[in-house]
Chains A and B, each alone.
Chain A
Amino acid sequence: MTINVDHYDLSGRNAIVIGNLQPAVDALADAYQTAGAMVTKLLCHPDEIQKRLPDAIGAHGSVDVLATAFDLFHAQPLAAIRAHDLADVMTANCASQLWACQLAVAAMRHQHHGGNIVLLTHVLGERGLPHTATYSAAHGAVHNLIRALAQELAPSKITINGIALGWMDWMTDRIDANEPNGARALRFPIIKRAGRADDIGAMAVWLSGDGAGYVTGQIFPLDGGLTQHL
């Protein structure tokens, strides 16, 4: 089979993009739309998944592609972490994505032709930084959630993969570019810049199309090479 643009063609697919991470949600929705999908964009808080996702699936009658982009960064030294901080970070970054998968997979299985799931995560899921114990743990959990669900969902022709972001230009919640170490952190990627929303879409489209049918259970860093140099 020759490789052609059809492998990136999502015409006729119902794609749902759900999350609280607005730059990523917008970028994913734009990319899917450009690839021809019918896109439902749900910018919502993790608490709203159980209500809004079934409504969206019901409105279209099916879901072929699910992309999630939930993120809540909260830096704290170990001694300061309280139970509700941990719960909030785990819920927003990890449990949210699990519940979204649960709802979408029920619909995908019902359709019998499978589907494609893309979860946005962060490279802090495989690396550490001071004061990121909860956030890094939550994204580490997302990484293994992807690997476990890939095994579970493969017989149903559902693929699930992750896109692990590095330092993105909207991450002013964690890096102050005006502070010297913050500015240096933003130059740590091999490509000497922070990522942008428009860097995300193409990978998500690839992972959601027929060209990636044999790709599942993987986490792809989209980080400008941040995690691959000394």
Chain B
Amino acid sequence: MSNLAKLRLDGRTAIVTGAGRGLGRAMAKALAQAGARVVCSARTQTQIDETAAQIRDAGGTAVAVRCDVTDSVQVDRLVERSIDAFSRLDVMIANAGGGGAGRGNWPFWEFPDHVFDSVLATNLKSNFYCDRAAARQMVKQGHGGSIVNVSSGTALRGNRTFAYPTAKGGVISLTKSAATMLAEHDIRVNVIVPGFVQQRPPADEQEAEQRATRGARIPVRRLGEWWELGPLAVYLASDASRYVTGHSFVIDGGGLAGGLAPVDFVPSTIRDPRL
């Protein structure tokens, strides 16, 4: 089989959570382009209907299944309904999450329980529920599978949004442990770690300028674009990555490799100590 053929997902079924917009929608479309039948899931029905319709319009196969990933009963139902639709599950992209609630202005010592709990429910427990439900089905089927979690570059560094990077750090640990526990069932678990990636094209010129300003602080001098997670998701979902499990895939324009100084800072040899 050629290397490109290994990237094909024909005959496979993939669930993508958070598929109503942004990175999730982009990954759902990429998996569909690679041949997968995609279950597009999120809380907002109209948005997942739109993603599924876009996939079908492009000749792919997709259904929309509404699910709140903070509720494990709904996540288990999501897997059941995916089996109802496509008879098997091969790929789980546990992408749903969000940092909004964590962006409060509390000092650390006043950070409220309910916000911390809510951010962990959305960004960490949700991944556990999705991974668990997918693994249960994949073990039952007996022919393995690929689980892909989505974390955040903030997980690898401290950040004032606090609860969000805390939860996303947990997703990386979850990935490693789940990979260890599921390898004997030929189920691989990896995690995508996006840096600053735009969820959609800028709405207007002002937003484009704001993004350009933020992008200038990144080594490649731009923010990532929504579609750029797609090729990585396809790789991790497919047989092209058969020997890859437990690992983090950072996609951040080089930001985490640097960060010791402003991006424009170029040290010069002010005096050559050899002279």
Contact = CB atoms under 8 A, between A and B. Distances in A.
B149 to A, nearest CB: 20
Contact of B269 (A73, A181, A230): A73
A76 B274 CA distance: 14
A190 interface: yes
Nearest to B157: A230
Given A229-B159, A230-B154, A74 B260 contact: no
B262 A129 contact: no
B272 interface: yes
Contacts of B158: 190, 225, 228-230
B261 A181 contact: yes
A125 B153 CA distance: 20
A174 to B, nearest CB: 4
Interface in A176-212: 176, 181-182, 184-185, 188, 190
B261 A129 contact: yes
Nearest to B269: A75
Given A73-B269, A75-B267, A88-B274, A185 B157 contact: no
Given A229-B157, A229-B159, A230-B157, A182 B265 contact: yes
A184 B157 contact: no
A48 B261 CA distance: 34
Contact of A185 (B262, B270, B272): B262
B241 to A, nearest CB: 25
A52 B270 CA distance: 30
Interface string B232-260: 00000000000000000000000101111
Query: By DSSP majority rule, is chain A's interface helix, strand, loop, or mixed?
Result: loop
B218 to A, nearest CB: 11
Interface residues of A, number: 33
Nearest to A124: B260
B107 interface: no
Contacts of B157: 228-230
A230 B271 contact: no
Contacts of A188: 259-262
A127 B257 contact: yes
Nearest to B255: A230
B266 interface: yes
A155 interface: no
7 closest A-B pairs (Cβ-Cβ)?
Answer: A185-B261, A181-B265, A229-B158, A230-B157, A174-B267, A75-B267, A130-B266
Interface of A: 72-76, 88, 123-124, 127-132, 166-167, 172-176, 181-182, 184-185, 188, 190, 225-230
Given A185-B262, A228-B157, 13 more contacts: A74-B272, A75-B269, A127-B257, A127-B260, A129-B260, A129-B266, A131-B266, A132-B267, A172-B270, A176-B268, A181-B261, A181-B265, A188-B262
30 contacts: A72-B273, A74-B269, A74-B272, A75-B266, A88-B274, A124-B260, A127-B258, A127-B259, A127-B260, A128-B258, A129-B258, A129-B266, A129-B267, A130-B265, A130-B266, A131-B266, A166-B260, A173-B270, A173-B273, A174-B269, A174-B270, A176-B268, A181-B262, A184-B262, A188-B260, A188-B262, A228-B158, A229-B159, A230-B158, A230-B259
